[in-house]
Amino acid sequence: MLQVGPWRIQSVVTGHVRLDGGAMFGVVPRVVWERLTPPDEKHRILLATRTLLAVHDRAQRVVLVDTGTGHKWEPALAERYGVEPIPAAIEAALARLDLGPDDVTDLVVTHLHFDHCGGMTEWEAAPGGATRLRFPKARHWITRRHWDHARAPTLRDRASFFPHDFAALEPAGVLAFVDDPHQAEGIPDVNWQISSGHTPGQLLPRFNGGSGERDVLFVGDLVPTTAHLPPAWVMAYDLVPLTTLAERVALWKQCREDDFLVTFPHDPQHGIVRLAFEQDRPQIGEVLG
């Protein structure tokens, strides 16, 4: 694990999905993006689903960021999206630290798209029935704006939300809303950033390294992989592409100034990196996880 100030941090691969390469790169021509991410015979590219595990021993906090697709999948849908979950990946990472699901104190829900939140819940009994929380003692942090959007999505993005992934949260009383990134309530040594180009109110946690240490920012689908470092390489899935572009430009300016580490949700090879900049162009400097 990577030690960053009070935090022990690890990027955990919880499975893989395959999504359409053209959709993942928007207006970028295939002849350009396929050199970095070769597609399969169905024009899909391989993506990891990653969970960030962060442990703050002094504050006794065990934090997860996102949970991957989970394994509540009908075979036809799993085939369509190339879903290959690793069902016990999070539990195995916790077990290596002598922890279990009941030890998780906080779960940061960047957003409720199926490839980020499906692992929050599991079938209580028969598939297609009721669900239960997979980490029942954790507070589940999410922006109120995104929570409201996910329950009434647009025609354009409703296919990205599976209500059974998050239906159990509200009855269980585990939701913790982030209404303002500067609000006092939160997780010790975590700051919030909010991004709205991909989807309204995406919540990005920044783990504070403290004096002399770099912070670690989970960038969510603002920058899904290292192939998306160029600001204009914006997904067709983004609801407001120009907002995503502006948010990336601002993010890389902030990264140059603060020199924080970046961790990605979907990169198949790289979980945590330190970026380098050639003029204003971000590139991988050092791979740390």
3-class SS string, 177-203: EECCCCCCCCCCCEEEEEECCCCCCEE
As a whole number of angstroms, the distance between CA 87 and CA 71 comes to: 7
As a whole number of angstroms, the distance between CA 104 and CA 95 comes to: 12
The confidence score (pLDDT) of residue 184 equals 81
pLDDT one digit per residue (tens) for the chain, 289 residues: 999 999 999 999 999 999 999 999 999 999 999 999 999 999 999 999 999 999 999 999 999 999 999 999 999 999 999 999 999 999 999 999 999 999 999 999 999 999 999 999 999 998 999 999 999 999 999 999 999 999 999 999 999 999 999 999 999 999 999 999 998 899 999 999 999 999 999 999 999 999 889 999 999 999 999 999 999 999 999 999 999 999 999 999 999 999 999 999 999 999 999 999 998 899 999 999 8
Burial code of 45-82, b = ≥16 C-beta within 10 A, e = fewer? bbbbbbbbbbbbeeeebbbbbbbbbbbbbeeeebeebb
Q: Which two tokens stand for residue 11?
A: 């990027």
Q: Are 237 and 23 in contact (CB under 8 A)?
A: yes
In CATH, the architecture of 2-287 is 4-Layer Sandwich (3.60)
Q: Are strands 61-65 and 44-56 parallel, antiparallel or unpaired?
A: antiparallel
Q: Which two tokens stand for residue 132?
A: 């239960």
Give the alpha-carbon dihedral of 146, 149, 151, 155, to 10 degrees: -140
As a whole number of angstroms, the distance between CA 263 and CA 216 comes to: 7
The confidence score (pLDDT) of residue 212 equals 84
The confidence score (pLDDT) of residue 218 equals 98
Q: Which of 131, 139, 1, 145 is nearest to 64 (CA)?
A: 139
pTM, 2 dp: 0.96
The confidence score (pLDDT) of residue 47 equals 98
As a whole number of angstroms, the distance between CA 231 and CA 263 comes to: 17
Contacts of 162 (CB under 8 A, 6+ apart): 72, 114, 118
The confidence score (pLDDT) of residue 131 equals 97
Residue 117 bridge partners (DSSP): 68
The confidence score (pLDDT) of residue 211 equals 85
Cα-only R_g, the chain: 18
Q: Report the alpha-carbon angle 288-232-199, nearest 5.
A: 80
